[in-house]
Amino acid sequence: NGQHARLSHALGLLMLPLFLALGASSLNPAATAWGGLAKLDLAALQARLQAIAEAKSSQYECRISIAVEAALGLSLAAGSPGAFVWGSVTKLATGAALMQLVAAGKVTLDEPIFPHIDPGLADLGLGSMASLFGAEARLISLRHLLSMRSGIPDYDTAKPYPPPPTDPFRADVYAHLDAPFTPVTLLNLSWVRLGKLDFPPGMNFSYSSTNFVLAGLALASLTGAPSWDAYDQADLLSLLPPGRRAQYAGLRFSDGRSPAAEGAVVGYDRTNYNGANASARPGFDVSSVPGVFGGWTASNLIGSPAVVARLAYDIFGAKGPRVLPAAQVAEMLPQEPPAGRGRFDSFYGLATFNLSIMGMTGQSALSPFSRAYGHLGATYGYDSVVGYFPGIDTAIAIASNIETDSQDQPSDTMCFAYNAVLAAVRGVPEPQCTFGKRSFYGGSCQCGNDFTCNQGMCIRDPLRGSLSKEDCASVCSK
């Protein structure tokens, strides 16, 4: 839930600063960074992460939880304990599950996907992809669904701009506290079932969670589940050795019950949508709202940050057992932009955001440590993010129990947590960082790397600068 309508406003701001030299980054230049684990002061790092979690918890008046998963079995957790709701982070799991089937040869990325979705739609009384979205829907591939390039309308109606922010679907969810909002409900919404696509498949990008509801129906069909709700999303972990699977205790996917019934920490909506007062404390309690999980395979993941960071590592990580073969991981990654300009496929790959251009790392764009990818998670009452940082072969998950208009708190916390971990791994002093929000999708983690080359001179520019002083001098000298 909660991300597509902010995209057009966000991209103009988001794509400006970091494209100059990201292509120079190595995908995994420091996979052995944790090789000096015996020399690493884990107690000091744990204490630093705890201090960050407590500071951000106080700043945002909410629960903040941090987890780190790296090679050699290293796991750290700090902040508030408990199971959180992860919203669209679920898409990362759904995408990885489908990529497992691609690796197994059960489906391809580029063939029409309707033969694997239409039977499920028919069983639900929804007809077919063509009857829901028009004849062009028969051209939609799995790649189109997972890359948000299908043209399928979004069930999520959040519109923050222009103010005042409105969200008719949210109002409907809050008005029906006994309704789980199943795929049938979502696909029957009048603004979804239009009989046409928003654009021809592959011709544009538009963040739409409906893509991942349909991806769930494809998963159910391809795995032989007798119905959509019989599909076990935890099958994603079946390729891991038993010992590794045992470390996923507490990772689960909601069956449509409320957060309270699922055992999640209490979450609060602190947005301004539909005339609500974002400054009210503690905010609107969503504990009894099943619609928090309304997107099913788009937004129903529950668990501690530790198991979510572990999942990200087991998808993207360089060492140990893997959820996916390396070839399918590479397919998921957002493509690096050409120098100087942005592309939609550099913003979002297959079920994967390019966090490098979202201002979370604070590292120079020429540095191997600026690279990051993963997924944001925003749903009613909860904001989160999980990222994988190939420069140090590490995954970090950040969870909060509030939802805000701009989801600042996970990105802000990630800025400080990542730089604390990076400094500890490299054995250097932690930089002094600040964080500022630019848009719903992007922020500005500033750790001194805000130089840009302007007419052959290096200048500091907090908005457009993305280089260290040394890297800027190198760029300007060419």
| H/E element, 344 | helix 344-347
Which region holds residue 16: left if phi is over 0, alpha if psi is between -120 and 50, else beta?
alpha
Rounded Cα distance between 406 and 424, Å, is 30
User: What residues pair up with 373 in beta bridges, in sequence order?
Assistant: 354, 388
346, two tokens = 């550099």
Cβ contact 5:378 at 8 Å = no
Q: What is the pLDDT of residue 359?
A: 82
Rounded Cα distance between 226 and 180, Å, is 20
CA 329 from centroid of its chain's CA atoms: 15
Rounded Cα distance between 3 and 207, Å, is 7
Q: What is the pLDDT of residue 33?
A: 61
Cβ contact 237:97 at 8 Å = no
Task: Report the b/e string of 392-414 with b at 16+ CB within 10 A.
Answer: bbbbbbbbbbbbbbbbbbbbbbb
What is the mean pLDDT, run by run of 10 residues, along the chain of 478 residues? 47 39 37 60 96 98 98 90 98 98 98 98 97 98 98 94 91 92 96 98 96 98 97 97 95 96 98 96 96 96 98 96 96 72 72 91 93 96 98 97 94 97 95 83 84 92 87 90
pTM of the model as a whole: 0.92
Q: Which amino acid, one-letter code, is at 230? A: A
Q: What is the pLDDT of residue 75?
A: 94
